[in-house]
Structure 1
Amino acid sequence: MLKNYFQIAARNLKTNRSYAILNIFGLALGMAGAVLIFLFIQYHLSTDRHQPDFDRIYRVVLDLHLDEGIEHEQGSAYALSTALAHDYSQIEKAGFISKLPNVTLSANSGSSVKRFIEKDNVAYADQGYMDLFSFDWIQNNGSVLLSEPFTVVLSEKMALKYFGRNDVIGKTLRLNNAHDLRIVGILKDQKKPTDFDFNIYISLPTLKKLDRTNWQEEFGWISSRNFTFIKKSEGSSSADIEKALKKNGTKYYGETSKYYQHKLQPLSEVHFDERYGGEIRKSILWVLAGVGFFLLVIASINFINLATAQALKRSKEIGIRKVLGSTKSQLFWQFMAETALVTILASVLALIFVFAVLPSLNNWANTKSFYPGVLFQFEVIAFWLLTIITVIGFAGFYPAVIISGFNPIAALKSKLGTQQIGGIGLRRSLITVQLIIAQILVIGTLVLILQLKFFKNADLGFDQNAVITIPLPKSDTIQKTKDALRNDMLQYPDIKSVSYQYEAPTSSMGFGGSVRFDNRVEWEKFVIRDRFGDENYLKTYKMPLLSGRSLMKRDSVVEFVINEELMKRLGVQDPQFILGKQLEDGASGFKGEIVGVVKSFHLKSLQEAVEPCVIFANPKLYKEVAVKLDTRNLSQSIQHINQAWQKTYPDEVFSYEFVDEKIAKFYEKEEQLTSLIRSFAMVAILICCLGLYGMVSFMVTQKTKEIGVRKVLGASVADIVSLFGKEFLILVAVAFLIAAPVAWFAMTNWLNHFAYRINLDWWILASGGIIILLITLLTVGYKVVTAALMNPVKSLASE
């Protein structure tokens, strides 16, 4: 019997090819979109879940309780890790890792030296970190790997990169052309996804040897690049550990302990908590899950509309089957089999779509984890099968019930009424639901695009265009060498300015702390941010001075340039008045004179408010050289810089990055979200167009005779088009009245996450409605005009 059902279904689909193509294509788009969204969500939800004892591992984060609010800090002090391991019985293990960006590594590989700059995959780590997390070892020289200075562990990928093979235990990797690191272990490449994707682990004792200052012993020296992890003991409570940490606050932070409150962040939340540098909010994933669900809904609505519209053409077939003895149950399962066949064919086409789009999904998620093999994972196959079953049930049940319930006599006489095939009102409602979803997605996409454009075009308070930054060799601490490099660069007229700095004005740099102004005894009740740059820093970034002057090149005297925001926080309104006043920077311990005030600028992304800031020279911390270029010939300017670099540092790798590109990375998450929503909005609109086409096909079929009569009585083509146009204008208008407030509410909540945002004006909402209206008119226009131009004799004969 089942075989017979599918044979008949195949014949019907072959006979009604256009109907089958529309249904298969619409369902395939919806299913492909749902599967892609599932892959994206699964990728994020599975981050680091492959770790053993996943539910017992926590990252120690910090809340700074300041007088003007709470600042959330993902990093920690190095000293904290050691204290946790010794002071708390509830903690089984503690580990520490510190990111080490832009380091030069080299290795002798046969007859040549391979040298690279590693930008973001190197870290200092202690043995505790290696014991906390799971690693697959290819080779190691014992259980204790990173307890000695000048040792390093490489991933297999790095071993192949530097040596061409992975059996390199005992060989040497040179750090910053100054220190030899002995290789003590080779790891398999880390399992993905993970938030801690490092390929080179240098022993933490190495850092102690290279930097003998006392910062390693100070709990208050906190960096966003340093992470402390713990694994709590069986049966212990994270809340109890937090309470114990709070009690020991005075031991660690002395009189300032009231400002510091440590929290244990579960490993499962590290990826999602944006307060502490998380990659993506879970709420965004649920929004995308909703989009995937709605793609399936509107695709299924298309099937319902097209199936019921097709029912009129098949009424005599149903009548004959009933007269010949087919039961209602048999006809029901016959049409469910037809739905199953269409859905299975659509799922195959959807699979092809998914294969084609996987590279784009890698770009959206900023990963390389999506490859054809992921489609054969158990979770994906289960979701795929569940989707097929759900679509068959949701899309096929209603048409099957309606069609199997036809009155055989009415079907044979073609006397079926509108209500017997589901009613035009139901189809209007279904189309309206589609239009509502499409308008919400279109309005949301417009808001995302406009907000992203606002981010990219906003005035940051300085000129970041045509400025490149070059990482400085870590081993170079000689000022004369830096001066020589600057002089060589400035020999070329297309190089306008050269400045040494820690980072650009807008960056992820987190240096800062307390400040004391003039003769005031108390420290101010707010924190400031530090920016380190030389006497050319303001010139390179064209930072406008409100009063005073830029920094001067001096060896001992400390000078400060502050921003307008700091001036106002200090209670001073006139920039001239603050010049010459004394300032003490608590983070660096520097004391000096305020010599200039610059217009306030954005220190971080526009997601955050402008903060008070002080700019001063700190040569020991300079790690980049910033170069302002002539925009008329950038490639020639880069070549000139490279020539000067090779002259000064012949053994160093030359690499550079444009400042505006670095700033654009602040908005990668918004860029990814915009790409995703925009792509799926286009899919939703395309599916919706197929639904509209099905709706107008049904209406034209219903009113074929009426169109002929109207034309015989003198109606023009415009009159016929107007007859149908009013119908769809009403549907679009009703959908807009529902979609607009929903979209406004959702996008207002999203925009409220940003300190600087666009205004959600009425025209943005109206534009979404107009776009859908135009698409609707274009979609139905062809079918309506074709019906209006039909010979009325043929229209009447079709009855």
Structure 2
Amino acid sequence: MLKNYFQIAARNLKINRSYAILNIFGLGLGMAGAVLIFLFIQFHLSTDRHQPDFDRMYKVVLDLHLDEGVEHESGSAYALSTALSQDYSQIEKVGFISKLPNVTLSANSGGKVKRFIEKENVAYADQGYINIFSFDWIKNNGSILLSEPFTVVLSEKMALKYFGTSDVIGKTIRLNNTNDLRIVGVLKDQNKPTDLDFNIYISLPTLKKLDLTNWPEQYGWISSKNFTFVKKTKGSNSADIEKALKSNGTKYYGENSKYYQHKLQPLSDVHFDERYGGQIRRSILWVLAGVGFFLLIIASINFINLATAQALKRAKEIGIRKVLGSTKGQLFWQFMAETALVTVLASVLALIFVMILLPSLNNWTHTKAFHFGMLFQFEVVSFLLLAVMVVIGFAGFYPAVIISGFNPIAALKSKLSTQQIGGIGLRRSLITVQLIIAQILVIGTLVLVLQLKFFKNTDLGFDQNAVITIPLPKSDTLQKTKDALRNDMLQYPDIKSVSYQYEAPASNMGFGGSVRFDNRAEWEKFVIRDRFGDENYLQTYKMQLLAGRSLMKRDSVVEFVINEELMKRLGVRDPQLILGKQLEDGASGFKGDIVGVVKSFHLKSLQEAVEPCVIFANPKLYKEVAVKIDTRNLAQSIQHINQAWQKSYPDEVFSYEFVDEKIAKFYEKEEQLTSLIRSFAMVAILICCLGLYGMVSFMVTQKTKEIGVRKVLGASVSNIVSLFGKEFLILVTVAFCIASPIAWYAMKNWLNHFAYRIDLEWWILASGGIIILLITLITVGYKVVIAALMNPVKSLASE
């Protein structure tokens, strides 16, 4: 019997090819969108969950309870890491890691020296870090790897990059052209989602040898590049550890302990908590899950509309089957078999779509995590099977009930009423649901695009255009070399300005702290941010001076340029009145006079409010040279800079990055979300168009004779198009009235996450409605015009 069901189903689909193609294509698109979203969500939810005992692993984060609010810090000090391993019996293991950006590494391979700039994948790590996390080793030099100075662990990818082989135990690579690191281990390349994807681990004792200051003993040496991880003992409570940390605050921070509150962040939350540098909010994943669900819903609605519209053509077939003895149950399962066959074919098409779109998903997420093999994972196969079953049940049940319930006599006489095949009202409701979902997605996409455009085009308070930054060699700190490089660069007329700095004005730089103004007895109640740059810093970024002057090149005298926001926080309104006043920067310990006030500028992304800031020279911390260039001949400008660089640093790798590209990275998450929502909105619109086509096909079939009569009586094509257009204009209007407040509420909540945002004005909502209206009219108009142009004699002769 089952075989017979599917044979008949295949024959019916072959006969009704256009109906089958529309359904398979629509369902395939919806299922492909759902699978892509599932892959994206699964990738994020599985981040670092492959670690054994991940539920006992935590990252130590910090809440700074200041007078003006709480600041969240993802980093911690090495001194605290040492204390955790010694003072808390509830903690089984402790690991510390420190990111090392823009490092030069070189290797002698086959008699040839290879030099590379590694920008983000290198870190100092202690032995505890290696012990706390699970690594897949290709080779290692015993169980103790990073306990000795000048040792290093590489990933297989990096071993092949430097030596062309993974058999590199005992070989050396050179750090910043000064110190050799002995390779003691090779790791397999990481192929599972992780936020801890480093390819080179240098032993932390190496840093202690290179930096002879007392940073290992300073609890206040907190940076967003330094992280402590702990693994608690079985049965212990993280809340008890946090209480113990708080009670020991005086031991670590003295009288300032009230400001410091350490927390244990579960490893499973690290990826999602944006307060501490997380990559994506869980709420965004649930929104995307909703989008995937709605794609399946609107694709299933299409199936229902097309199936019930097709029922008129199959009325006599059903009537004959009933007269010949087919029961209602047999007809029900016959149609469900057809639905199953269509859905299975659609799932195959969906997989083809997914395979085609996987590279795009990698581009959207800036990863290489999505590949063909993922489609055969148990979770993905299970999801696809579940989606197939849900679609078969949801899309097939109602049409199967309707068709199997036909009155055989009415079916044979072609006298079925619209109520017997589902009714126009139901189809209107289903189409309206589709239009609501499509309008919400379109309005959401418009808001995302406009907010992203706002981010990119808003004046940051300085000129980031045509400025490139070059990481300075860590091996050379001589000022005369820097002066020579600057002078060589400025010999070229296309190079406008050269400045040494720690980072650009807007960056993730975390330096800052308390401030004392004009020899007041008390420190101010707020914190400030530090920016380090030389006497050309303001000129390079064209920062607007409101009063005073820029910094001057001096060896011993400290000078400060403050921003307008700091001036206002200090209670001064006239910038001229603050010049010459003394300032003490608590973070650096520097004291000096205020010599200038610049217009406030954004120190971070537009997601955060402008903060009080001080700019001063700190040559020991300069790590970049910023160069303002003439972009009319960009290639020549870069060549000139490279020539000057090679003259000063012949053994160093030349590498550069545009400042505006760095700033654009602030908004990678928003860019990613916009790309995803925009793509799935287009899929939803395409599916919706198929649904509209099915609806108008049904209406045209119902009104074929009416169209013929109207044409005989003199109606024009435009009159007939208007007849159907009014129907869909009402549906779009109803959908807009429902979708607009939902979209407004959702996007208003999303925009509230940003300190600076667009206004959610009425025209944005109206634009979403107009876009859907135009698409609806085009889709409906195409089918109606074809019907209106039909010869009325054929229309009236149809049975």
TM-score by length of 1: 1.00
Q: Provide the residue aligned with 1:227 in structure 2.
A: 227
User: 1:217, CA displacement in angstroms?
Assistant: 1.0
In structure 1, the residue matched to 2:552 is 552
Deviations 1:330-364 (A, max 9, x none): 10011000001111111111111000000001111
Please name the residue that 2:487 is paired with: 487
Q: Secondary structure at the match of 1:596?
A: strand
Q: Which residue of 2 aligns with 1:20?
A: 20
Name the residue aligned to 1:508: 508
CA distance in 2 between partners of 1:519 and 1:583 (Å): 8
Q: State the secondary structure of the residue aligned to 2:597.
A: strand
Which residue in 2 is equivalent to 1:82? 82
Equivalent in the alignment of 1:140: 140
- 1:213-270 Cα shifts (integer Å, max 9, x gaps): 1222111111000000000111000000000000000000000000000000000000
SS at match of 2:476: coil
Aligned to 1:581: 581
Written as runs of structure 1 = structure 2, the 5 A alignment for 1:63-78 is 63-78=63-78
- Name the CA distance, whole Å, in 2 between partners of 1:532 and 1:9: 74
What's the counterpart of residue 354 of structure 1? 354
Cα separation, 1, equivalents of 2:182 and 2:752 = 51
Match of 2:619 in 1: 619
> In the aligned structure 1, how far is the partner of 2:166 from the partner of 2:343?
49
Residue identity matched to 1:201: Y
Structure 2 distance, partners of 1:715, 1:453, is 48
Deviates more, 1:785-794 or 1:503-512: 785-794
Q: Deviations over 1:411-469 (max 9, x none)?
A: 00000000000010000000000000000000000000000000000100000000000
Which one is further off, 340-349 or 183-192? 183-192
What is the aligned residue count?
799
CA–CA distance in 2 between the matches of 1:739 and 1:109? Answer: 63
Aligned twin of 1:647: 647
Secondary structure in 2 matching 1:652: coil
8 Å CA contact retained: 2:447, 2:764: yes
Runs of at least 5 residues in structure 1 that lack an aligned partner in the other structure: none
- Secondary structure of the 1:498 match is strand
SS in 2 for 1:455: helix
2:453 partner SS: helix
Equivalent-residue separation in structure 1 for 2:167 and 2:709 (angstroms): 87
Query: Is contact 2:72-2:275 (8 Å) kept?
Result: yes
Could you tell me which residue of structure 1 aligns to residue 341 of structure 2? Answer: 341
Matches within 5 A, 1:413-424: 413-424=413-424
CA distance in 1, matches of 2:789, 2:2: 44
Q: CA deviation at 1:716?
A: 2.2
> Is it true that 1:459 corresponds to 2:453 in the alignment?
no
Distance 1:638 1:79 in 2: 43
- The C-alpha deviation readout for 1:378-412, integer Å capped at 9, x for no partner, is 00000011111111111011000000000000000
Deviations 1:61-98 (A, max 9, x none): 00000000000000011111000000100001111000
How far apart are 1:713 and its partner, in Å? 2.4
- Under a length normalisation based on structure 2, what TM-score does the superposition of the two structures give? 1.00
Deviation track 1:86-122 (CA, whole Å, cap 9, x = no partner) reads: 0100001111000000000001101200110000000
Alpha-carbon offset, residue 631 of structure 1: 1.9
- 1:244 is aligned to 244
Q: Counterpart amino acid of 1:22?
A: L
- What SS does structure 2 have at the residue aligned with 1:462? coil
User: 1:768-779 to 2 correspondence within 5 Å?
Assistant: 768-779=768-779
The aligned residue for residue 149 of structure 1 is 149
State the partner residue of 1:400: 400
Q: d(CA) in 1 for partners of 2:744 and 2:564? A: 35
- Greater CA drift, 737-746 or 344-353: 344-353
Question: SS where residue 293 of structure 1 aligns?
Answer: helix
Find out whether 1:708 has 2:708 as its counterpart.
yes
Distance 1:406 1:275 in 2: 60
Corresponding residue number in structure 1 for 2:200: 200
Query: Residues of 2 paired with 1:334 and 1:580: CA distance?
Result: 90
The answer to whether the aligner puts 1:257 opposite 2:229 as a matched pair is no
Please name the residue that 1:123 is paired with.
123
Give 4+ residue runs of structure 1 displaced > 4 Å after superposition.
none
Matched, 1:731 2:731: yes
Look up the equivalent residue of 1:265 and give its one-letter code: Q
For residues 402 and 177 of structure 2, the distance between their equivalents in structure 1, rounded to whole angstroms, comes to 79
Correspondence 1:630-645 to 2 at 5 A = 630-645=630-645
Deviation readout 1:261-311 (Å, 9 max, x if unpaired): 000000000000000000000000000000000000000000000000000
Amino acid at match of 1:377: Q
In 2: Cα distance, 1:95 partner to 1:15 partner: 67
The percentage of counterpart residues that share the same residue type is 89
Task: Determine the C-alpha separation between the residues in 1 that align with 2:444 and 2:684.
Answer: 13
1:485-507 deviation line (CA, Å, top 9, x unaligned): 00000010000000000000000
Q: Which moved more, 1:208-217 or 1:764-773?
A: 208-217
User: C-alpha separation between the residues in 2 aligned to 1:191 and 1:321?
Assistant: 57
* Equivalent residues in 2 for 1:529-548, closer than 5 Å: 529-548=529-548
- 2:307 is matched with which residue? 307
Aligned to 1:762: 762
CA offset at residue 795 of structure 1? 1.2
- Partner residue, 2:291: 291
- 1:316-331 alignment to 2 at 5 Å? 316-331=316-331
Task: Give the gaps of 5 or more residues in structure 2.
Answer: none
SS in 1 for 2:595: strand
Distance in 1 separating the partners of 2:583 and 2:89? 44
Letter in 2 for 1:237: N
Counterpart of 2:37? 37
Q: Comparing 592-601 with 714-723, which one deviates more in the overlay? A: 714-723
Matched, 1:597 2:597: yes
Q: Which residue of 1 aligns with 2:699?
A: 699
Query: 1:715 offset after TM fit, Å?
Result: 2.2
Question: Do the aligned residues in 1 keep the contact of 2:191 with 2:369 (CA within 8 Å)?
Answer: no
**C-alpha distance in 2 between matches for 1:551 and 1:704:** 83
Matches of 2:459 and 2:309 in 1, distance apart? 55
Letter in 2 for 1:697: S
Cα distance in structure 2, aligned partners of 1:766 and 1:158: 53
